A and B are shown apart, each in its own frame.
Chain A
Amino acid sequence: MSKELLRMENITKIYSNGFMANKDVSLTVHEGEIHALLGENGAGKTTLMKILFGLEDYQEGRILIRGEEVRIANPLDAIAKGVGMVHQHFMLMEGLTVAENIVLGIEPGKAGVFDKETAVKMTLEAAEKYNLPVVPNALVRDISVGVKQKVELLKALIRGVRLLVLDEPTAVLTPQETRELFVQLRDLRSRGYGIIFISHKLDEVMEICDNVTVLRRGRVVGTGRIADLDEKKLSSMIVGREVVKTVDREAPRRGDLVLEVRNLSYVDDIGKIHVNDLTFAVHAGEVVGIAGIEGNGQTELSEVITGLRPATKGDVMINGQSIKGRNIDQIRKLGVAHISEDRLVYGCAPDLSVWDNIASIYLSSKKFARGPFLSKRELNKFVDECIEEFEIATESRNTPVRLLSGGNIQKVIVAREFTSGANLIVANQPTRGIDVGTASLIHKLLYKYTREKNVAVLLISSDLNELLNHSDRLLVMRKGRFNAHFTDLSRVTDELLGEYMLGVRSMTEEEMGNVL
């Protein structure tokens, strides 16, 4: 048996508002072990890790590192004791270089002068040692999410930590980047590092983890060796009931044209072409999926359609009306709802309450209007219904959104957008960071809205299973263009899709057929 790195015993955490986020939680991690920490949104995973990293205090229990009881006062203290954390939301300075981000807090140099060269050297050495290649002088805002994660890992490793906490590290990664990360994690495991791995993607957990601890409502509801479990058992441990993942899909009844994109191009400020002369359409009653390796223009496409970015060329028609010259509000009124990828930036106002965030889209609409005022009573009722239907774990409708767990923040946005009455839903990564139970709820809703309410859905995702199981047609995007179009998804496999995504294969215009 290898040496014990960390033991958390009977940790109880009560937040200042009286919410008990952890109750009697125990967790043990050994050297050379990847330990999965699973649970629904709001189960208390991040809270437990924040305690370990000195970001939150706790009321009961003890923490032992290498058998020695410790009290971790703050993150610096945690790092000194060998615990490093890669947060669910990256903790990087966008305007600083990679090297500056990595050495911040332990800057090299004499007499207060920052020695940039040594910093670059330190970065390169660590990058080589841990097999995490980065460009030290690149600005963080210019690097991809996958590289940002490497920077986060290096930041922890260079400080000599032995236990790494990764809070949903793969949520933002492409399949390729995930595979690369796993190679690196296995490498670290073989060097005796302990890793705590939080994820909602059970196939990943099955692939890389050794042991698992499952939390539900702040309590441990199961532990075990991954080798003894399978995905189905894991998901019923997490949710407390069986999760039926696949819905039987009837063929869609295609209705009117809802979204029509004609020769659309989008080029950004620095001249990079993200969307290159795209033409396609989405009809009422169908889900059109867009696959692609992240950074091939999917996000930009969805943001042009919803008015967050201006089209450089071409046009977008929604319900027969062009979005040209309309602002976001006017575009929404054409019937568009948008679940944006960057939930904390565009999706919600973190300091405002759940109520404010959901009600925000009805401020100028007639739905809840009472003369010049809003009917607070009706809105309250409506918001409460949303909270119930989408199972948002929140103290009350007046809780600020920033206090919710990552997945529950996403649920607030999904609830608002789904109920907005739009007949086009642009969903960019709608289930990223969402637990299995809720993800299947969202998928069911997508299905129900298209079939029963004749809504058109544009589904953009990096999760291939999500795309294959929940779209009616599928387009593959690469370098701003489409290179494949599938109308019958039953015969499409992950591998085939991957080949198109990577550009190993591509369809001709004839093979793609009618994308309208």
Chain B
Amino acid sequence: METIQSFLFSTFRISTSIVFVALCATVSHQAGLTNMAAESMMLTAALAGVIGSAVTQNLFLGLLIGAACAVLITLFLCFAAFVMKVDLYLMSISLNMALAGATVYVMFVTTGQKANTAAYFNSLQVPAFRLPLIEKIPFLGPVLSGHNGFTYLAWLMVIVVWFLIYKTKFGLRMRAVGQNPKAAESVGVNPRTVYTISFMLAGLIASLGGMFLSMGYQSFFIRDMTGGKGFIGMAAATIAGASPLASAVIAYIFGFADAITNYSKLVITDAQFLAALPYIITVALLLIFSALKKKAADTAHRKRRLMALERGEAQAS
């Protein structure tokens, strides 16, 4: 019983950053672009947040600095792609690589370390919260309560993003540009503005996913600590057809895969295999999801087709 509870608890915890990235990808996707630069935004925010909070000794300022740095990266990406006309995807990939290196460099310059900032910077951490009433629910209470602030923020963010996309004027413009930028332009909606704002929002959301890793889960920055989560989030958003709710659900399933890996450490000892396990599970899940989705659609279509034909024949005779 307790193992199950703590397993579920850790699923929620581990999923936190994947949910953020999935939402980040969802926002970009709705505007018609694929956000492949989430990794770089997360890494930058993770490091900048740690340094910011350690230097200022103010948690809020630290978070602000982390988020601002990620948004700056996005602005640079937008400038390169929409003003200088560099290919967006090439630029995104180069940014990922550049910032994987740059974060290590900054870390080395400031701390003299190349692996992590633990010994030098004392980052402030977002605290965990206990949910007053929910805490008391049998079984579910301990699973849902006591999470890090970021985890709850991720839940809130799902609703915020949903509201943004489907209930606001900007959301409408975003979807419009995503579907037909020329048509949107012909009624005075500037696609470049929409792309840029939605990328900045995406960057902001991704930065939370990054900072969860270094200021929630841990209290220091580790090189490459995002470990491909940016791409996993992108996959989640793509499978979900850029629906915020579905993206989040799929992100949780991927988190579940991570949690399984963590728990297998008790039985599997091969470190290399363990390191690969979450990715193996992710790939397997991706295939299964797509197959299921296609199959469901196919059977639904076939049924409707046959029913329609039968109806037609009944009418004819």
Please tell me if the beta carbons of A100 and B170 are within 8 angstroms of each other in the complex.
Answer: no
Please tell me if the beta carbons of A112 and B187 are within 8 angstroms of each other in the complex.
Answer: no
Q: Which of B155-186 contact A (CB under 8 A)?
A: 167-173, 175-176, 179-180, 182-186
Q: Give Cα A313–Cα B189 distance, bound, in whole angstroms.
A: 46
Please encode chain B, from 49 to 66, with 1 for each CB lying within 8 Å of some chain A CB and 0 for all others.
Answer: 000000000000000000
Please tell me if the beta carbons of A74 and B308 are within 8 angstroms of each other in the complex.
Answer: no
A156 to B, closest residue via Cβ: B187
Q: Give Cα A344–Cα B156 distance, bound, in whole angstroms.
A: 43
Please tell me if the beta carbons of B176 and A104 are within 8 angstroms of each other in the complex.
Answer: yes
Please tell me if the beta carbons of B308 and A92 are within 8 angstroms of each other in the complex.
Answer: no
Please tell me if the beta carbons of B175 and A96 are within 8 angstroms of each other in the complex.
Answer: yes
Please tell me if the beta carbons of B175 and A75 are within 8 angstroms of each other in the complex.
Answer: no
Q: Give Cα A109–Cα B185 distance, bound, in whole angstroms.
A: 21
| In the assembled complex, B301 has its CB within 8 A of some CB on chain A | yes
Q: Which residues of A contact B189 (CB under 8 A)?
A: 104-105
Please tell me if the beta carbons of A107 and B304 are within 8 angstroms of each other in the complex.
Answer: no
Q: Give Cα A85–Cα B187 distance, bound, in whole angstroms.
A: 10
- Minimum CB–CB distance from A480 to chain B (whole Å) comes to 8
Please tell me if the beta carbons of B186 and A114 are within 8 angstroms of each other in the complex.
Answer: no
- Minimum CB–CB distance from B184 to chain A (whole Å) comes to 7
Q: Which residues of A contact B171 (CB under 8 A)?
A: 114
A-B contact count (CB 8 A): 86
| In the assembled complex, B312 has its CB within 8 A of some CB on chain A | yes
Q: Give Cα A79–Cα B188 distance, bound, in whole angstroms.
A: 9
Q: List 10 A-B contacts (CB under 8 A).
A: A79-B187, A92-B180, A92-B183, A96-B179, A100-B176, A104-B173, A104-B184, A269-B301, A271-B305, A273-B309
Please tell me if the beta carbons of A271 and B308 are within 8 angstroms of each other in the complex.
Answer: yes
| In the assembled complex, A506 has its CB within 8 A of some CB on chain B | no
| In the assembled complex, A312 has its CB within 8 A of some CB on chain B | yes
| In the assembled complex, B131 has its CB within 8 A of some CB on chain A | no
Interface residue tally for chain B (C-beta within 8 Å): 26
Q: Which residues of B contact A104 (CB under 8 A)?
A: 172-173, 176, 184, 187, 189
Q: Which residues of A contact B172 (CB under 8 A)?
A: 96, 100, 104, 107, 114
B177 to A, closest residue via Cβ: A93
Q: Which residues of B contact A105 (CB under 8 A)?
A: 173, 184, 187-189
Please tell me if the beta carbons of A95 and B308 are within 8 angstroms of each other in the complex.
Answer: no
- Contact A93 to B186, CB < 8 A, known contacts A269-B304, A271-B305: no
Please encode chain A, from 108 to 123, with 1 for each CB lying within 8 Å of some chain B CB and 0 for all others.
Answer: 0100111000000000
Q: Which of A266-318 contact B (CB under 8 A)?
A: 267-273, 276, 312-313
Q: Which residues of B contact A100 (CB under 8 A)?
A: 172, 176
Please tell me if the beta carbons of A267 and B179 are within 8 angstroms of each other in the complex.
Answer: no
Q: Give Cα A472–Cα B175 distance, bound, in whole angstroms.
A: 48
Please tell me if the beta carbons of B179 and A94 are within 8 angstroms of each other in the complex.
Answer: yes
| In the assembled complex, A76 has its CB within 8 A of some CB on chain B | yes
- Minimum CB–CB distance from B167 to chain A (whole Å) comes to 6
- Contact A312 to B184, CB < 8 A, known contacts A93-B176, A112-B170, A113-B169: no
| In the assembled complex, A155 has its CB within 8 A of some CB on chain B | yes
A75, A76, A94, A104, most chain B CB atoms within 10 A: A104
Q: Give Cα A328–Cα B19 distance, bound, in whole angstroms.
A: 42
- Minimum CB–CB distance from A345 to chain B (whole Å) comes to 13
Please tell me if the beta carbons of B305 and A312 are within 8 angstroms of each other in the complex.
Answer: yes
- Contact A155 to B308, CB < 8 A, known contacts A91-B182, A107-B172: no
Given A112-B169, A270-B304, 7 other A-B residues pairs in contact with their CB atoms under 8 A: A79-B187, A93-B179, A107-B172, A114-B168, A269-B301, A273-B309, A312-B309
A85, A87, A273, most chain B CB atoms within 10 A: A273
Q: Give Cα A100–Cα B189 distance, bound, in whole angstroms.
A: 13
Please tell me if the beta carbons of B169 and A272 are within 8 angstroms of each other in the complex.
Answer: no
Please encode chain B, from 11 to 51, with 1 for each CB lying within 8 Å of some chain A CB and 0 for all others.
Answer: 00000000000000000000000000000000000000000
| In the assembled complex, B307 has its CB within 8 A of some CB on chain A | yes
Q: Which residues of A contact B173 (CB under 8 A)?
A: 104-105, 107
